[in-house]
Amino acid sequence: MIFAIAANFGLVAGIIRAKKRSTAYTPSVLKHLWIVFLGFLPQFFVFFLPVTREQIPNQWVPVILIGSQLLLLLFVWLNRKQAGIWLMGFGLILNLIVICLNNGWMPISPETLDQLQVSSNSWQLWQRHGFSKDMVIPVSDTRAWILSDVFKINLFNFYKVAFSLGDVLVAGGIFTFLWSAGAPKSLHKEYAK
């Protein structure tokens, strides 16, 4: 969800930027978009689609999550000359580091779940949290804790989410990419060099 928010704000900011400069809003063409689809598709089946997420064994989740992250990093590398892409890549690398250091799972602490007002009956230590990518791990046992899902949004108990520093950087990269599309075409050429 943080990525959708970044995309919406980036799009609006880019359009406003283009209007203020009396230029067309023209996003750069990203190469190999099919890799993003291929990278996201396994996550869709494992984390979002109810029919499949209940059937996929937890032992497969780390392999699928790491493979998905590697595909997204390949996409970033192939588009590294575009505005914001390096920021996205750095965020993906930070997420990949903490996931790999914690046996293929994104750690989330009991304290974070408590602050999000998640019922303690709905999670157990050293277990996957629901159908998410998160494993509930005490802070003292989390490797690279600062890179885990430590940031929180709790809007009136309506929208609750924990996210990582890597997620913030990926969102920042998405925002930057869409915002830069409002720049004059000469600046687009500078980014592509």
pLDDT tens-digit map of 9-42: 999 999 999 999 888 898 889 999 999 999 999 9
pLDDT of residue 35: 96
Give the pLDDT band (50/70/90) at residue 81.
very high
State which residues form the domain around 122.
2-24+31-192
Task: Give the residue from 143, 105, 149, 109 showing the smallest Cα distance to 125.
Answer: 109
pLDDT of residue 149: 94
Tell if the pTM clears 0.85, that is, is over it.
Answer: yes
Mean pLDDT of 174-187: 84
pLDDT at 71: 96
Helices (H), 44-132: 50-53, 61-78, 85-101, 110-115
Number of domain units in the chain = 1
Percent of the chain with pLDDT over 90: 66
The reported pLDDT for the residue numbered 1 is 74
**22 vs 120, more confident:** 22
- What are residue 128's DSSP bridge partners? 135
In this prediction, residue 95 carries a pLDDT of: 97
pLDDT at 162 over 60: yes
pLDDT at 185: 64
Retrieve residue 3's tokens: 């990525």
